[in-house]
Amino acid sequence: MITKITSISIINTSVGDRVAYTYTTLDDEGKIYKENVKGDFVAFNKEVLDHVVAIKEYVKENKINKELNKTEEDK
């Protein structure tokens, strides 16, 4: 069996960062066994929290700030 993650989201909630995910499982010939299976958990583990922070920082620095700078240059 092969498992393919098809979606991951980090949602800020009142209890912490919730990680939601979706995946599909295929057999060795590529036939879909399970599709669009969903799950989620609240990140409490330090290693997971460090990764969540790193992803947020990457998006802020490399996507949001670049877009804001681009918008400022257009003015």
Q: pLDDT exceeding 90 applies to what percent of the chain?
A: 81
Closest by CA to 36, choosing from 21, 54, 19, is: 21
Higher pLDDT, 70 or 59: 59
Residue 6 and residue 35 in one domain: yes
Q: pLDDT band for position 74 (50/70/90)?
A: low
Residue 1 and residue 32 in one domain: yes
- Give me the domain span that covers residue 13: 1-43
Mean pLDDT of 25-43: 95
Residue 38 and residue 2 in one domain: yes
Q: Would the pLDDT of 53 be above 60?
A: yes
pTM over 0.85, yes/no: no
| Secondary structure in 3-state letters for the chain | CEEEEEEEEEEEECCEEEEEEEEEEECCCCCEEEEEEEEEEECCCHHHHHHHHHHHHHHHHHHHHHHHHHHHHHC
Residue 1 and residue 12 in one domain: yes
Which amino acid would we find at residue 23? Y
Q: Would the pLDDT of 10 be above 60?
A: yes
User: Please, what sign has the CA dihedral across residues 33, 39, 61, 74?
Assistant: positive
Number of separate domains in the chain: 2
Residue 33 and residue 49 in one domain: no
